[in-house]
């Protein structure tokens, strides 16, 4: 299968480099979310503050409105947006932030997810927590968020199973999909649910692997964000776990078909030290490119419009824009050019073999020459390096290396292949 990879580089001579340009937000308050609808119009949200730009972030202005307990913003287009948070109040604009309408839902829940069916029909999900118990709520507005109708509600002490309700999306006024989980257990199980009567009743389609908090539907592939990510190509009947080694995914945007951008903590140590990474990856993470982030910047969210327009926001009110010029579009055959095979045998005790293929480097390349510097290392589940299998130049073609884990304890390990600016990783299981 072929993927068109946009090289997000600023052209400098024969090679491309990335460059983040800091924009003046006018605040030092942490910004938790940035949301652009096109190359010019966007919002950035922090604790009780909202910033707005109409020129791509060259100038940011404060929205003069009394926002309270706001946590999420979702924009339908440059004019229509909704803000939700930790109260019964949501905020709606229909003129690009010039005016905001305060809308009371009538239910004092925590509203963290919203979804547009069209410009006037909006859905929001809410959760309520009392100690370790609570419930969930789905509301719908058909008048641009002015008034809200209750579609579905569960409560602890009332319903046999007091589900929390996370993300959802509707494909028509009747048909929708959502993630439910049992409210007294934050670690699952999670249920992928479907409604065919507008959200008034829900049927379980499947149980999702792992704790799922966010959904995104793109080109009939449903992506589910958890610590890693899962995907379904049959609208939730079955799920596949992406073979990745991410500790957590902070934000994601699906670009097209089966690839997207992900703001991640790759390892446990990254999460502990706020070292996030922005990664372009395909659906199985067998082909990816990691975009370097500004030094010492703690990123919380990003917004992707196209390969020329990407914004980051985060700690201390900082906003960065990715300054790019597309150099080339390269079609890469992921089977013939880039390959990291599953180790065999797997599970293993204590010896296994790993095969990988080094591709012919595309022109221009920072590692063109007689060979390519290849590094193949093994990490434990906490991200600690436990073995270096390869660290040398190797010619293009297929290679195989043997890994002896005689000195390691049973558990899950990750083996990571680096060549040039590419990295591939897979998971293996040692059982003694």
| pLDDT for the residue numbered 12 | 29
| pLDDT for the residue numbered 363 | 36
| Burial of residue 147 (number of CB atoms within 10 Å: 0-12, 13-18, 19+) | middle
| pLDDT for the residue numbered 221 | 72
Rounded average pLDDT over 266-289: 67
Give the pLDDT confidence of 158-171 residue by residue, as tens digits.
Answer: 666 668 888 899 99
| pLDDT for the residue numbered 243 | 54
Rounded average pLDDT over 205-222: 73
The answer to whether the peptide bond before residue 358 is cis (omega within 30 degrees of 0) is no
Residue 333, pLDDT above cutoff 50: no
pTM across the whole model: 0.69
| pLDDT for the residue numbered 84 | 94
Among the listed ranges 246-260, 388-402, 414-428, which one has the minimum average pLDDT value?
A: 246-260
Rounded average pLDDT over 200-210: 87
Among candidate residues 57, 12, 20, the one with its CA nearest the CA of residue 292: 20
pLDDT band for position 14 (50/70/90)?
very low
- pLDDT greater at residue 256 or residue 103: 103
pLDDT band for position 393 (50/70/90)?
confident
Quote the strand ranges of 26-132, DSSP E: 31-36, 42-46, 49-53, 61-62, 70-75, 81-85, 89-93, 101-104, 110-116, 122-130
| pLDDT averaged over every residue in the chain | 80
d(Cα 178, Cα 197) in Å, to the nearest integer?
Answer: 14
Residue 230, pLDDT above cutoff 70: yes
The secondary structure of 288-329 as a DSSP string is EEEEPPPTT--EEEEEEEETTEEEEEEGGG-EEEE--EEEEE
Give the pLDDT confidence of 93-102 residue by residue, as tens digits.
Answer: 999 999 999 9
Residue 146, pLDDT above cutoff 80: yes
Residue 257 DSSP code: T
Residue 359, pLDDT above cutoff 90: no
| Burial of residue 354 (number of CB atoms within 10 Å: 0-12, 13-18, 19+) | buried
Residue 43, pLDDT above cutoff 80: yes
3-state secondary structure of 115: strand
| pLDDT for the residue numbered 338 | 66
Residue 102 DSSP code: E
Q: Are 112 and 123 in contact, with CB atoms under 8 Å apart?
A: no
Among candidate residues 332, 347, 356, the one with its CA nearest the CA of residue 417: 356
Neighbours of 98 (CB within 10 A): 10
pLDDT band for position 335 (50/70/90)?
very low
| pLDDT for the residue numbered 429 | 86
d(Cα 120, Cα 41) in Å, to the nearest integer?
Answer: 20
Among the listed ranges 139-148, 321-330, 340-349, which one has the minimum average pLDDT value?
A: 321-330
Residue 364, pLDDT above cutoff 50: no
| pLDDT for the residue numbered 176 | 94
Full set of structural domains in the chain with CATH: 2-332 (2.130.10.10), 339-430 (2.60.40.1930)
| pLDDT for the residue numbered 57 | 95
- pLDDT greater at residue 290 or residue 276: 276
Instruction: Tell me the two tokens of residue 403.
Output: 């890994």
Give the pLDDT confidence of 170-201 residue by residue, as tens digits.
Answer: 999 999 999 888 755 555 578 899 999 999 99
3-state secondary structure of 206: strand
Give the pLDDT confidence of 46-62 residue by residue, as tens digits.
Answer: 988 999 999 999 999 99
């Amino acid at each position: 299968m072929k993927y068109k990879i946009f090289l997000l580089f600023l052209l400098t001579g024969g090679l491309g480099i990335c460059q983040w340009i800091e924009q003046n937000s006018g605040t030092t308050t942490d910004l938790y979310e940035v949301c652009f609808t096109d190359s010019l119009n966007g919002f950035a949200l922090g604790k009780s503050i909202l910033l707005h730009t109409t020129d791509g972030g060259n100038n940011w202005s404060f929205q003069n409105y009394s926002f309270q307990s706001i946590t999420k913003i979702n924009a339908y287009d440059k004019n229509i947006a909704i803000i939700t948070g930790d109260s019964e109040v949501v905020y709606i604009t229909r003129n690009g932030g010039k005016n905001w309408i305060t809308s009371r839902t009538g239910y004092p829940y925590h509203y963290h997810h919203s979804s547009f069916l069209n410009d006037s029909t909006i859905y929001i999900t809410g959760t309520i927590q009392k100690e370790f118990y609570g419930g969930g709520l789905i509301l719908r507005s058909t008048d641009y968020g002015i008034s809200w109708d209750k579609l579905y509600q569960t409560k602890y002490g009332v319903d046999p199973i007091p589900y929390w309700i996370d993300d959802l999306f509707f494909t028509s006024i009747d048909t929708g999909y959502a993630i439910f989980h049992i409210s007294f257990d934050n670690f699952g199980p999670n249920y992928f649910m479907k409604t065919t009567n507008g959200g008034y009743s829900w049927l379980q389609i499947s149980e999702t692997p792992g704790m799922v908090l966010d959904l995104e539907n793109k080109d009939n592939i449903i992506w589910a964000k958890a610590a890693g990510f899962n995907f379904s190509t049959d609208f939730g009947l079955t799920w596949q776990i992406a073979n990745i080694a991410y500790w957590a995914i902070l934000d994601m945007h699906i670009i097209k078909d089966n690839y997207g951008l992900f703001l991640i903590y790759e390892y446990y140590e990254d999460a502990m030290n706020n070292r996030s990474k922005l990664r372009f990856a395909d659906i199985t993470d067998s082909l990816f490119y990691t975009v370097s982030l500004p030094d010492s910047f703690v990123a919380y969210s990003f917004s992707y419009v196209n390969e020329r327009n990407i914004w980051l926001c985060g700690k201390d009110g900082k906003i960065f824009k990715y300054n790019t010029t597309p150099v080339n579009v390269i079609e890469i055959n992921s089977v013939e050019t880039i390959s990291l095979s599953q180790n065999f045998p797997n599970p293993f005790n204590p010896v296994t073999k790993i095969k990988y293929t080094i591709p012919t480097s595309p022109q221009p390349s920072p590692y063109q020459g007689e060979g390519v510097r290849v590094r193949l290392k093994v990490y434990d589940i906490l991200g600690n390096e436990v073995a270096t299998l390869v660290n040398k130049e190797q010619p293009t073609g297929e290679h195989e290396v043997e890994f002896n884990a005689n000195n390691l304890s049973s558990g899950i390990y990750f083996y990571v292949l680096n060549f040039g600016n590419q990295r591939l990783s897979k998971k293996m299981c040692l059982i003694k």
